[in-house]
Amino acid sequence: MERRTIGAAGLAVGAVGLGCMPMSWAYSTSQQRGDRSLRTVHAALDAGVRLFDTADMYGPFTNELLVGRALKGRRSEAFLSTKCGLLVGDQHIVANGRPGYVRRACDASLRRLQTDVIDLYQLHRADPEVPVEETWGAMADLVTAGKVRALGLCAVGARAGRRPGSRTHDGTIRQLERVQQVFPVSAVQAELSVWSPDALDDLVPWCAARGVGVLAAMPLGSGYLTGTLKPGQGFEPDDPRARHPRFTAEMMAANQPVVVALRRVAERHGATPAQAALAWVLAQGPHLVPVPGAKQERWAVENAAAARLSLTERDLAELAGVPRARGSWDC
């Protein structure tokens, strides 16, 4: 697989990563199988995937445990990314950016992941009660201690607290400018896909100008852009898509033009809509790495093969002409 270098630290990763969250948390939990997930991670490694993304809040903790088991014996082949800063309660999620907590969270992640070092440690969310510089300073100390190789930041949701006329990711960019004064940011993780391209307005150019990598989260639109979801099909009660405005039967039907366009582009290359969607992300800049989630071997292998698909100017122009997705993205 093509390698991409992200961040000032020169982090070398495969062009397509693997989001591990769906293997043990959130999406279609009845279909999650531990043994199958282990096979999925190994199949991804065999296909050239190197970046594996998880977080301590996924489960919570179960996803890191799964990834640790899956990479046992093959840790040297993987670039391991995890996150801290969010605590999951029975009915709520809260941020915790206190330096002492960050240090304890890192040690716990190292144990669950069965590794001596985390390649990329990301701040999931800034704690509004703690100056982000203090949290980032504690994370920088982890690099000095040899427990972490590089630091990253997850973008604040594009619509969270957005003011009329403001840039899409104003909040994230302000955070980035503050923490860059403390320790270099190597990567930013943000939602980016054909039907959610807002990060291209400001966040992606900001990162490109400063040598910061972008990990594109949800590049397949939580499964919608694969063309395998049908309007009105329904989701399991604990699946977040069951309550998401873009996944109502009406909105899924209204947004079919984007899937039709992806399928048309894919057919010209003998590819799938999912591969065309990932290739679109890769075409937005050499510092971007899509991180699609997958819990089955065939999807992980199919996604990895998207690294070999180069879209033409005609393809990109056609996808650029697709109407913006309808339906609020707030959930």
Catalytic residue numbers read: 58
Got the DSSP string for 124-161? SS--TTS-HHHHHHHHHHHHHTTSEEEEEEEPPPTTTT
Residue of 57, 61, 59 whose CA lies nearest to 96? 57
Beta strands 93-95 and 3-6 are unpaired
288 is written with which tokens? 């971007």
| Strand partners for 151 | 121
CA distance linking residue 313 with residue 302, whole number of Å: 23
Note the maximum CA span of the chain. Answer: 54
Contact 4, 289 (CB under 8 A): yes
| Strand partners for 13 | 4
On the CB side of 204, how many CA atoms lie within 13 Å of its CA? 22
